[in-house]
Amino acid sequence: MSDVYEVYAIRYGYHSRRSGENFIGGDPHNTLQPLDFFVWAIVGKSGTIVVDTGFDETMAKRRQRDLVKPVGEGLQAIGVEPAAVETVIVSHLHYDHTGNYDLFPRARYHLQDSEMAYATGRYMCHPTLRLPFEADDVVAMVRKVFAGRVTFHDGEGEIAPGITVHHIGGHSKGLQSIRVKTQRGYVVLAADATHLYAHLDEGRVFPLTYNVGEVLEGYARLKRLASSRDHIVPGHDPLVLARYPAAKPGLEGWVVRLDVAPKAT
């Protein structure tokens, strides 16, 4: 069936940190709780849709994050040539989701109206809110608008049969999650609508947040959109690599397949 897709998570980066940094109010255990950085690929008969574009080596140094494998290499490992990709969905404009501007020269980008308005408007006057944004990233997206390469969505939008975007907000004002029809049901790429499984499961909130209420409402929304809790894929959880099988032998700990059932947590 043409509206059923394979879905992959591709890890490109890493940040070692304590759990207390991952939750509003901290964490009483304050154990080591690193974040992984991912992009995602939705592969169907008519081509590949890439979700988010990651950051490059320059940004990794600037932000003191580890670039483990460049985004382009991860895509090539599953046979996706970035220069041939025609569709990119950007969940939101934070630095770890919208770098590598020139990696997809043929692509049209899909973004929420409210994310562009947020990233170019009055809230960016506040250092606290602009912290996860980079001016160059935002400018690069504005240039794509003027080059006729951006499609805006307001709320829900269909990207292709079986693939829809859904405005969640919360973490960033225009954050969108992506719902994909697969052989095991509807998988939801939450992106930063939930960084870790713990946020979703325990109703806790990541500290970088535009609107706490929208984050919490977003968890319920993700659960409604996905076929089950185990169809929701958090945006930064190292458990994703542990739970899902490698896309093929040799890609363990790098690229995993999300359209097959995960191991229990």
Contacting residues toward Zn ion, per CB under 5 A: 94, 96, 192
DSSP the chain: -TT--EEEEEEEEEE--BGGGGSTT--SS--B--EEEEEEEEEETTEEEEE-----HHHHHHHT-EE-S-HHHHHHHTT--GGG--EEE-S--STTTS--TTS-TT-EEEEEHHHHHHHHSGGGGSHHHHTT--HHHHHHHHHHHHTT-EEEESSEEEEETTEEEEE--SSSTT-EEEEEEETTEEEEEEETT-SSHHHHHHT---SS-S-HHHHHHHHHHHHHHSSSGGGEEESS-THHHHHS-BSSTT-TTTEEESSSPPPP-
| Distance of closest approach, residue 89 Cβ to Zn ion, in angstroms | 14
Closest to Zn ion by CB, 96 or 115: 96
| Distance of closest approach, residue 187 Cβ to Zn ion, in angstroms | 19
Closest to Zn ion by CB, 96 or 214: 96
Closest to Zn ion by CB, 6 or 192: 192
| Distance of closest approach, residue 185 Cβ to Zn ion, in angstroms | 25
| Distance of closest approach, residue 194 Cβ to Zn ion, in angstroms | 11
Closest to Zn ion by CB, 192 or 237: 192
